[in-house]
Amino acid sequence: MMKPRKLGPVGGLALFYSALVLAVGVYSIVVLLTVQNPILLSGVALLYLTLPLGWLVWHGWDLLPVEMTNPVVLVLLLVGTGWFQAWAVSCLVRKLVDQSGESA
């Protein structure tokens, strides 16, 4: 059985970033589903929050089939992108810290 790792400062930042992305994403979906003509500033905030990969998702949006171009799908893709970025950065930093710890 594996021993759980300590969260550490990088893990805490990744967790905070993931929670922020989730909160903005849920708010965006609620606005999309409840407001008749939404002006989605929270979607723009989500796009900027998930930069640089969010920008790629935004520009790749035109490549999806027409039946999948629901704005809710875009918000879900941006949330997934944000979570992937948080995971990737925390793994990268953990690997760099492990390498620097071994050489010392």
Q: Is the per-residue pLDDT at 86 higher than 70?
A: yes
d(CA 85, CA 62): 22
Sign of CA dihedral 4, 10, 15, 21: negative
Q: What is the pLDDT of residues 36-57, one digit of tens each?
A: 888 778 889 999 999 999 999 9
Cis peptide before 52 (omega within 30 of 0): yes
- Whole-number pLDDT of residue 104: 46
What gap in Å lies between CA 22 and CA 90, rounded to an integer?
A: 17
Its pTM stands at 0.84
pLDDT tens track for 65-81: 887 788 888 999 999 99
Mean pLDDT for the stretch of residues 77-95: 92
CA distance 66 to 81: 21
